[in-house]
Chain A
């Protein structure tokens, strides 16, 4: 074990203030950081929607033809082109589209014939619930698993669990979802397993949910989330736990932990306050970075379990070339990633005082 030597003669600028910054100053720095992240995030969403707009508008194919259908005549087609604004030049179209997009007028779905904002408003809560739930499960599960593996590093269980999580990490989300449905919805019903193991195969709530008591409705929603969350949780934990294990092992060998042990602190105190507290920081960064992958997973899970969320909307919009919905869902997914990263960043400030420093 090598102890790091602290050089007390290290150069300190003569006029450096060694006092801790006042709460006001800290708050100011935090606000500054949040604000700058918000601006970058907004720019990012702007770049993404611009890119998608260009792609869609420069692509072959005629949305007007799609809108009116193959049986329409030339006059109808022209009317549709005018209604969709396709008769104007690209920059004009982009500008007017951007103005409407920023002011919240996201157009009408070509297929569903209802406002895109309405579609998003009904789909977004499902996706947020699903991803927040799966993040929570992934976080708790991988921290527990990682701590366990780090405690038994290189032992039998560590190796077995590492191999299992490497295997589970390669499983496609939609296949795992289908397998869970096969076992816990079909096989369990067929072989009369206990009711706890007989879970719904699809949907966000039962058909008769409206006739249930309020608590019954909540229980019903939770029952419908068990399999989707298990799918995302298993894959998330498999991907994250080995980083937790690594982070914990890294911290375990640092000086402050050795000192804490030497002082005779109880093992759980060392584990919780000295190791985990520090290992959490890289894990939070990792979770922020893994958000795009998580949203990819929710797309598949929503499709398999027929959950009426953003993933199902984007897939059906893409299949039917419903461009306004494609634009909106892409923008929302980008915004979700930005917001998630901002939250991870803030959470990191909570965990690690060094991040809070200007």
Chain B
């Protein structure tokens, strides 16, 4: 029974990894894989709204059809993976670093600093993240890097809570007490003993957060407040296809499937990592 369960868990993680690798490959190799230029608009009237598997006047086959400006949907999807992965990975890296900083200093130094930092964390957690993002976007002009920074700066709270809880539970454990008894400096205690032991839950949370960040990035783009057009963000592709749902549903359908797949992959990898790195939950 246990062995069977373990197998299925491994199997789901493999599915997640396959999707993630596919996305990574299509992002990196987009310039070579894409059948046509994702930005180029040639003869718009002749090339727009071509259904999937049709061949345009220039002889290029559009596997996923074309959008309202005659741009190849498949090529835009592949280039869109670049945006999704850049935003997802970089913003989570930023928020993980911020969260670890806040969580570790709250746990290690304790006292008043702990109370202040945790109050700020709770306050930031109480606001819908989208509202926070919108308020931030309202102030600056949207760009890819703004989206990365803003997502990074609004996602650190769960990491902070998580790492604080982990480290607090560790502070009274014998190996930390012993390390302190040896006269280890606080900095070395953190980098040598505390940080490595918090990495498992932080990695798991990070995998899940990447999926979340990808959803939010495309959501902002969908609202017209994210990475600005003509960049092929999956969210703005869906927004662009929304008016054409009646006669050209492929424009909006494919990017949505791509987002759902990416988030699924992140969730599967997160769950798999937890099982793999944390023997207790097996």
**Residues of chain B from 109 to 146 with CB closer than 8 A to chain A in the complex:** 122-123, 125-131, 134-140
Whether B218 is near chain A, meaning CB under 8 Å from some CB there, is: yes
Instruction: Tell me the bound Cα distance from A323 to B134 in angstroms.
Output: 12
- Main SS at interface, chain B: helix
Nearest chain B CB to A347's CB is how many angstroms away?
18
**By the criterion CB–CB under 8 Å, are A319 and B245 in contact?**
no
Segment of B33-41, B90-98, B162-170, B222-230 in the binding face: B222-230
Whether A296 is near chain B, meaning CB under 8 Å from some CB there, is: yes
CB neighbours (8 Å) of B249 from chain A are 182
**By the criterion CB–CB under 8 Å, are B138 and A295 in contact?**
no
Query: Chain B: which residue is nearest A189 at the CB level?
Result: B246
Contact with B along A123-149 (1 / 0, CB 8 A): 000000000000000000000000000
A334-B223 contact, Cβ under 8 Å, with A172-B260, A175-B252, A175-B256: no
CB neighbours (8 Å) of B223 from chain A are 300, 303, 315, 319
A314-B126 contact, Cβ under 8 Å, with A170-B264, A186-B245: no
CB neighbours (8 Å) of A61 from chain B are 139
**By the criterion CB–CB under 8 Å, are B127 and A154 in contact?**
no
A300-B242 contact, Cβ under 8 Å, with A55-B135, A170-B264: no
CB neighbours (8 Å) of A292 from chain B are 125-129
Whether A217 is near chain B, meaning CB under 8 Å from some CB there, is: no
Instruction: Tell me the bound Cα distance from A47 to B249 in angstroms.
Output: 44
Nearest chain B CB to A188's CB is how many angstroms away?
12
Nearest chain B CB to A344's CB is how many angstroms away?
12
A47-B123 contact, Cβ under 8 Å, with A333-B131, A337-B128: yes
Whether A167 is near chain B, meaning CB under 8 Å from some CB there, is: yes
CB neighbours (8 Å) of B190 from chain A are none
Instruction: Tell me the bound Cα distance from A315 to B220 in angstroms.
Output: 10
CB neighbours (8 Å) of A37 from chain B are none
Contact of B131 among A59, A304, A330 (CB under 8 A): A330
Whether B207 is near chain A, meaning CB under 8 Å from some CB there, is: no
**By the criterion CB–CB under 8 Å, are B130 and A171 in contact?**
no
CB neighbours (8 Å) of A259 from chain B are none
Whether A243 is near chain B, meaning CB under 8 Å from some CB there, is: no
Whether A166 is near chain B, meaning CB under 8 Å from some CB there, is: yes
Whether A94 is near chain B, meaning CB under 8 Å from some CB there, is: no
Whether B272 is near chain A, meaning CB under 8 Å from some CB there, is: no
Nearest chain A CB to B268's CB is how many angstroms away?
7
Whether A318 is near chain B, meaning CB under 8 Å from some CB there, is: yes
**By the criterion CB–CB under 8 Å, are B215 and A172 in contact?**
yes
**By the criterion CB–CB under 8 Å, are B138 and A326 in contact?**
yes
Contact of A333 among B127, B139, B238, B261 (CB under 8 A): B127
Query: Chain A: which residue is nearest B249 at the CB level?
Result: A182
Whether B85 is near chain A, meaning CB under 8 Å from some CB there, is: no
CB neighbours (8 Å) of B122 from chain A are 44
**Chain B: number of interface residues, binned into ranges:** 35 or more
**By the criterion CB–CB under 8 Å, are B256 and A314 in contact?**
no
CB neighbours (8 Å) of A171 from chain B are 256, 259-260, 263
**By the criterion CB–CB under 8 Å, are B134 and A314 in contact?**
yes
Instruction: Tell me the bound Cα distance from A182 to B140 in angstroms.
Output: 34
**By the criterion CB–CB under 8 Å, are A166 and B268 in contact?**
yes
Contact of B219 among A190, A300, A333, A341 (CB under 8 A): A300
CB neighbours (8 Å) of A181 from chain B are 245
Whether B5 is near chain A, meaning CB under 8 Å from some CB there, is: yes
**By the criterion CB–CB under 8 Å, are B128 and A178 in contact?**
no
A295-B130 contact, Cβ under 8 Å, with A171-B260, A172-B215: yes
Nearest chain A CB to B30's CB is how many angstroms away?
22
Contact of B138 among A44, A303, A318 (CB under 8 A): A318
Instruction: Tell me the bound Cα distance from A59 to B274 in angstroms.
Output: 41
**Residues of chain A from 316 to 358 with CB closer than 8 A to chain B in the complex:** 317-319, 321, 323, 326, 329-330, 333-334, 337-338, 341
A296-B131 contact, Cβ under 8 Å, with A178-B245, A179-B253: yes
Instruction: Tell me the bound Cα distance from A317 to B137 in angstroms.
Output: 11
Instruction: Tell me the bound Cα distance from A318 to B141 in angstroms.
Output: 11
Whether A247 is near chain B, meaning CB under 8 Å from some CB there, is: no
**By the criterion CB–CB under 8 Å, are A170 and B211 in contact?**
yes
**By the criterion CB–CB under 8 Å, are A323 and B123 in contact?**
no
**By the criterion CB–CB under 8 Å, are B252 and A55 in contact?**
no
**Residues of chain B from 166 to 215 with CB closer than 8 A to chain A in the complex:** 211, 215
Contact of A56 among B5, B139, B222, B266 (CB under 8 A): B139
Nearest chain B CB to A8's CB is how many angstroms away?
30
Could you list some 20 contacts between A and B, CB below 8 A? A44-B122, A59-B139, A169-B267, A170-B211, A171-B263, A172-B215, A172-B235, A173-B219, A174-B222, A178-B241, A178-B252, A182-B246, A292-B126, A296-B131, A296-B219, A300-B223, A314-B131, A315-B223, A318-B135, A323-B138
Residues of chain A at the chain B interface (Cβ within 8 Å): 44, 47-48, 52, 55-56, 59-61, 154, 159, 166-167, 169-176, 178-179, 181-182, 186, 190, 291-293, 295-296, 299-300, 303-304, 314-315, 317-319, 321, 323, 326, 329-330, 333-334, 337-338, 341
**What 3 pairs across the A-B complex have the smallest Cβ distances?**
A170-B263, A175-B256, A59-B139
Residues of chain B at the chain A interface (Cβ within 8 Å): 5, 8, 122-123, 125-131, 134-140, 211, 215, 218-219, 222-225, 235, 238, 241-242, 245-246, 249, 252-253, 255-256, 259-264, 266-268
